[in-house]
Structure 1
């Protein structure tokens, strides 16, 4: 904690200041937009962008992670609270902060219990599918705001403003950086300038709203935004704690998963090492801070953290500067925010989330492993059809199910010797020779209750294909563990082979596995020998 501050150097300060300013400018429209996704007043997004990044800077382990509202977490917040209260109501605002408090407490507890390994429960394709599904749900949900009414009804001024904002944002996304570079700006400055396009679009839309009196034309605006810092929020609803428990667990899990993903990406670029348990603590404390200031659940954002990194952030001081600047923005007059048109905010949300529709993972998975590709599509479909909460559960089940399915069907190779060497390889891949009455099988997986029956079935199939076998050698190079069920399975195999006059031999058994086998009855009962290597087994058994 605060190790970065103890080693701070003056040379790091300019980069931290510039990054803090840039991210603060980016956070104003983004925070307000994601608050709308969560069903909250726009100012709640700014509240959730002040204290959380400061607290994360004190407790987290990433040097450049930017913490605040994030589209997927905002969507999950709306899905959790919609059955409990009307969006935007006083109770809804209290429950949003209460949900952040519960999620933060879960994360903090997991960090203290050192449960950082839970980040591995989502596979990359499943996570991509969840992101794609959530992005589509968010974009579709903002269409009625963009159009100024429930489709197919369209409020023409709102739709024109929203459509123009989308066009400008897309042009800025794909062409502004190149245009700025061609004008002579450094590449990094040009990229940052393009990232600030949403802020410029929002300011332009607000100015247009004031000049043309868009509210009088029926265009919805944010309305009055209270100036001043948020007060200490201690309000909770005792009647809703149980209803919030399950979504708090799911949202806490996703907060950690998304935050770790963003932090890990930047850590690789900076050649830094993250501490997953400190990330849990940092994100937990950040969410508790958001709850205490009337905000909503927050996490690290890859896009925002990428801007923080590109703008020159060297340490978490950049996030502290961002939080302080946003606090000063609320202390300053906020009347102009009341004229901010909601269609323009909806446009920034739609363009931002459509940028999350990265299909590279799907293409790679489809070519490499169709099972992963189908899990990605199923997760995306689950989020769209069943809702984001069930989508998370489906994603976890698919990740674990895919792991179990693969582990239950281990690869088993028939081995032969490469001529003139002591190397044994799969006879289907190499020109390797075998001994007529010796069948050597390499099991390429750990043995556990989920695959022992499949392993025994495959062994029986190979014995049927090699009827002259008198010695079966199981090469255990890839076996790092054998559980109790698998131990019994090997014992049953040994007994069945003994009755058929076939010896069961083991080769290349790893030390930890052998240590455990020595405590069992299998070693004494085995109908064969245990060899140090496959070559020694082949040489000894070929002579019999």
Structure 2
């Protein structure tokens, strides 16, 4: 806050007094009394000291660092076997069963063979168990990340309309596609590891909750529309880029006469089973020990019926086809496509990381433990980097499986061990049995897995009541993702959200403080019970002052003080004495109320505020930029700002550039 005395001239004596019954502290005196003065420090000394602390090596430091970077070494010795093992076992097995159909289904979103979805449901789970800090986070395939990766794959290796799935060309085609998807995973992992090295975990805060929810909700529409062709038995090229959702929808509507009725009926039956059972699981999740595994049951039944009735040959139904048994060997991704996928991978990386950290923090707050964003960067970076060498596409935390893991009674990441064991059994033994699984069933599983994302529309009324700005951010992000594309819409949402923050910091509210007999100093909106101290103006501005809100601050202060650049300029021209100006650097802005007393005893004196009005920083070791012929006092309480001083002094130095350009 800024307090000052204004008057008509030097000879006019102020008669108003304000009683203050405690010590009067200017900023300088407060700093001297309470030891807030910074010690002189040589240039670079702070950085060298921090670097020395970081690089200090000892046996205990190495053990601490190892436990910090591999959290399982920290929590596994403290594992409460009798209390937690049953919950982790049940939750892990339940999530593992769900990973099987969802992994194969989301592989179709990525435009790769279903077997690669099973690989992606295995390796990231094991790696996150070792490096992750989220006890209830389930990693693996995620619809939004799979959709974004699939767009990259389709751009570089488009789907041919006619391709014999049993020909050598088909095998080469699938190898090219998984090579691109693995390259995206590799580059995404490298980006996360670089961000971890730079300690950039805070970047997830720029993807606020309204942005993440609007983005995932809009992406759910893209996923649903993209699965219509599989549910209807159509063979259409996949559209990418702006307006891809509408292009895909137009292609589906145009080709409706070519619908495969057998696949359409299979889709209807699957939806009729999946939707009600999932609703039962959601409504009675507190009563059910484990949710009904409707997805895996649907997969088993559909595979058996297709095999028994030869639907694939009789009605030309698209099936999954050959799923190799065994463990995948290491394979280098297609490194030559890294420059082409770099731009899209940035968006995929931020989306995967933001969703993962958001989910981890939600359940960490619920169960009373902490999440380390930078360690999450390391965990997901290692997961994607290592998994890419085993023909996996990008992974992240998943909404559905994380919710099931927590509701099924999981306590720690040891549940990931049982999840990976279930997937491993399928990879080694059961995988080839899914040869006759219709792709329409996987498409239905994809669509029904988006239930939580669609239900995020229910948050809009509450969001409108809490913050209309966040409501607008939600709508802008959602419309941008739906109308344009997933990555472009996300960028627009982030930029728009940051613009709202900038606009809000530009227009902080200024108040004039008045004196009251009831309360020492209160704002002017209660002026019916308070009066203004003659000759004293006290302002409050609750925010930082920087180039973005400089002009607004000047206008508000001119209005409240009754001063203007023109009036000051006319008074200046009448003055004969001119003082010299100096410059003094200032560090940053203090966000608390500060009080400045202007002891100039005449109104026509020079009053200048500088265009870079920086208040002191949190250590209070610099002066503010203000230009007077008087002393400047920075007060800690409002009472001190209202305490009048009748002594004029013309010894103050001139500081910085003038806010009101009086030259």
TM range (shorter): 0.7 to 0.9
> SS in structure 2 opposite 1:47?
helix
Structure 1 partner of 2:513: 415
Structure 2 partner of 1:349: 446
Alignment of 1:288 onto 2:385? yes
- Report if the CA contact (8 A) 1:18-1:313 is conserved: yes
Alignment of 1:170 onto 2:275? yes
CA offset at residue 321 of structure 1? 2.1
> SS in structure 1 opposite 2:290?
helix
Structure 2 partner of 1:116: 201
- What CA distance in whole angstroms lies between the structure 1 residues aligned with 2:557 and 2:361? 42
Structure 2 partner of 1:199: 296
Counterpart pick for 1:458 among 556, 577, 580? 556
CA offset at residue 92 of structure 1? 1.6
CA offset at residue 510 of structure 1? 8.4
- 1:177–1:351 distance in 2 versus 1, CA, 3 Å: closer
More helix by share: 1
Structure 1 partner of 2:375: 278
> SS in structure 2 opposite 1:82?
helix
Which structure 1 residue ranges, 5 or more long, are not aligned?
182-186, 471-480, 487-493
- Report if the CA contact (8 A) 1:64-1:315 is conserved: yes
CA offset at residue 335 of structure 1? 2.8
- Report if the CA contact (8 A) 1:103-1:284 is conserved: yes
Structure 1 partner of 2:222: 137
Which structure 2 residue ranges, 5 or more long, are not aligned?
1-69, 160-172, 235-251, 569-584, 591-597, 649-663
Q: After the TM superposition, which of the residue ranges 64-73 and 450-459 deviates more from structure 2?
A: 450-459
- What does the per-residue CA deviation read over 1:72-122, in whole Å, with 9 as the maximum and x for residues that have no partner? 101111122322112563222101001001101111121122111011111
- Report if the CA contact (8 A) 1:224-1:335 is conserved: yes
CA offset at residue 459 of structure 1? 1.4
- 1:541–1:395 distance in 2 versus 1, CA, 3 Å: farther
- What CA distance in whole angstroms lies between the structure 2 residues aligned with 1:166 and 1:345? 11
- Report if the CA contact (8 A) 1:125-1:362 is conserved: no
Instruction: Give me the TM-score of the superposition, normalised by structure 2.
Output: 0.71
- Report if the CA contact (8 A) 2:291-2:408 is conserved: no
CA offset at residue 535 of structure 1? 1.9
Alignment of 1:253 onto 2:357? no
Alignment of 1:27 onto 2:111? no
Structure 1 partner of 2:635: 531
Counterpart pick for 1:7 among 68, 78, 83? 78
Q: Say what the alpha-carbon RMSD is for the aligned residues.
A: 3.2
- Report if the CA contact (8 A) 1:447-1:483 is conserved: no
- Report if the CA contact (8 A) 2:516-2:529 is conserved: yes
Alignment of 1:540 onto 2:540? no
> SS in structure 2 opposite 1:424?
strand
- What does the per-residue CA deviation read over 1:333-391, in whole Å, with 9 as the maximum and x for residues that have no partner? 42321111111111111122243021133222323333322221111111122211112
Counterpart pick for 1:425 among 520, 523, 526? 523
CA offset at residue 445 of structure 1? 1.0
> SS in structure 1 opposite 2:537?
strand
Alignment of 1:214 onto 2:286? no
CA offset at residue 455 of structure 1? 0.9
Structure 2 partner of 1:447: 545
- 1:341–1:498 distance in 2 versus 1, CA, 3 Å: farther
- Report if the CA contact (8 A) 1:438-1:541 is conserved: no
- What CA distance in whole angstroms lies between the structure 2 residues aligned with 1:32 and 1:65? 20
> SS in structure 2 opposite 1:64?
coil
- Report if the CA contact (8 A) 1:448-1:484 is conserved: no
Q: After the TM superposition, which of the residue ranges 43-52 and 520-529 deviates more from structure 2?
A: 520-529
- What CA distance in whole angstroms lies between the structure 2 residues aligned with 1:133 and 1:362? 14
Where do 1:85-484 residues align within 5 Å? 85-87=157-159, 89-149=174-234, 150-151=252-253, 152-153=256-257, 154-176=259-281, 188=286, 190=288, 192-194=290-292, 196-215=293-312, 216-238=314-336, 240-357=337-454, 358-425=456-523, 427=525, 431-464=529-562
- Report if the CA contact (8 A) 1:266-1:306 is conserved: no
- What CA distance in whole angstroms lies between the structure 2 residues aligned with 1:445 and 1:159? 60
CA offset at residue 236 of structure 1? 2.1
- Report if the CA contact (8 A) 1:47-1:294 is conserved: yes
